[in-house]
Structure 1
Amino acid sequence: MASTTNRRSSFSINAALRNFNSTLEPEVQQHLKQVYTCLTMSTLAAAAGAYVHLFTNILSGNFLTSFVAIGFLLTLFATPDESLGLGPLLDTVIRINPAIISTAFLSTAVLFTCFSLCALLSPRGQYLFLGAPLLSMFSLLSILFLANIFIGSVLVFQAYLYLGFAVMCGFVLYDTQLIIEKRRIGDKDFVWHSVDLFIDFVNIFRYLLIILAQKEDNQSKKRKN
């Protein structure tokens, strides 16, 4: 039974790899390697930078650090979502339960990987139709957020939270296939492409942090009552 299961698993992996090689041209595959390498390095650099900033005095107030920060801000200047700064949110989550951060990060990594593979192994352009609906939903999210400032409704906030999470997952599918199509028409800027995916990753992580922290806080209040 175990050998049969192993053969089926091996067959599925081999079939997926054959589908990947047959649907994506060599130059596109090479471009994707560069994109995901850059994405990985950016994530590691962000984590290292956060550690240096929070726990050491190395490069504190250094001109080089300031110059790099300005360059990074300019890179993200065109990003419509200004909530990439997670410091205050992380501080709040740590007060509730520090374990939420690792759980949210691992969950984000698994979700991001699954949606990325789904986009990479799907037929060409299958998820590009999501562009217009996702942008429309993103606009709706902005309206919900602004409206809830005045309404203060828990129900509206929950709708904003879970709808936003779903939209960000959809953007992983859309952006991944959009990057493939951009490369096919000659766009080789893998750095900008990795920034798109990095923003998707961070936003999924942010929504998961809030969802998990909210659940933990509610459970804590129930236990106290």
Structure 2
Amino acid sequence: MLSASVGAFLHLKAGWNQGGLLSSLVSIGLMMWLAATSHSKENQTKRLCILAAFGGTMGLGLGPLLDFAIAVNPQIIMTALISTAIIFVCFSVSALYAQRRSYLYLGGFLGSALTILLVTSLLNIFMQSFAVFQFGLYAGVAIFCGFVVYDTQLIVEKHNNGDNDYIWHSVDLFIDFINIFRRLVIILGLNEKKKKRNN
């Protein structure tokens, strides 16, 4: 989260206007590099550096969205961040206190829902339907809330089976957090713009 904040700061304050496609491609490349690097003790420092770079490029990728939020109302960013943190903590804690493996069945459903959402979003490029776009935003928040629960239980289960790769587990939860935050910023920004138009 700290490296993502640095990436967002570099876009907003230091003039690194590299957010968007380039930073997305770099972050995907870094994630693949991290996945391909063995999680032995010798590689721990290297993998932490890759993780930090991944977080930074993800934060850089949020730059254009943060520009939009600041133009509408700067308070949107803090509201979205606090809301995302509350959602994340609540769903993680519920997963930790739930019966062991009780939410792992969600994996297939969430994967299918995410695929449908992706296909719908791609089709909407041609349809240009605002209603479909809004549905995708709210459905995306719900899906990634489900992923927080699923990923938390999956990480606990992996740990119990001897998988202690906390660096990769951090990536799973970080991606969930960023996706919820991104969608909340857009939802709050659109609602604020609507209010301003009505006034």
TM-score tier after normalising by the smaller chain length: 0.7 to 0.9
> Following the alignment from structure 1 to structure 2, what is the Cα–Cα distance between the partners of residues 71 and 55?
21
User: Of the two, which has the highest radius of gyration?
Assistant: 1
- TM-fit CA distance, 1:183: 1.0
CA spacing shift, 1:102–1:142, aligned 2, 3 Å: same
| 2:31 is equivalent to residue 76 of structure 1 | yes
Partners of 1:151 and 1:47 lie apart in 2 by 35
Which whole-Å CA distance do the structure 2 matches of 1:129 and 1:149 have between them? 32
Q: Which residue of 1 aligns with 2:3?
A: 45
1:55-204 alignment, distance < 5 Å: 55-56=13-14, 74-77=29-32, 84=58, 85-204=61-180
Secondary structure of 2:102's aligned partner = coil
In structure 2, the residue matched to 1:35 is none
State how far apart, in whole Å, the 1-side matches of 2:28 and 2:109 are.
28
The 3 A distance-change label for structure 1 pair 56 and 94 is closer
One-letter identity of the residue aligned with 2:85: A
Rounded to whole Å, the distance in 2 between the matches of 1:196 and 1:163 is 19
Equivalent of 2:182 in 206, 213, 216: 206
2:12–2:63 Cα contact (<8 Å) kept:
no
User: Structure 1 runs of 4+ off > 6 angstroms?
Assistant: none
Q: Is the 8 A contact 2:73 2:189 kept in 1?
A: yes
CA RMSD of aligned residues (A): 2.4
What CA deviation, in whole Å up to 9, does each residue of 1:88-129 have, x standing for no partner?
Answer: 111111111111000000000001000010001110011101
Deviation (angstroms), 1:48:
3.2
Identity %: 50
Partner of 2:49: none
Change in Cα spacing, 1:71 to 1:211, as seen in structure 2 (3 Å) is closer
The answer as to whether partners of 2:101 and 2:153 remain within 8 angstroms in 1 is yes
For structure 1, the residue ranges without an aligned partner over 5 or more in a row are 1-42, 61-69
- Cα 1:116–1:156 change in 2 (3 A) is same
> 2:4 & 2:83 partners in 1: Cα distance?
18
Q: 1:218 to 1:53 in 2, by over 3 A?
A: closer
Gaps of 5+ in 2: 17-24, 34-56
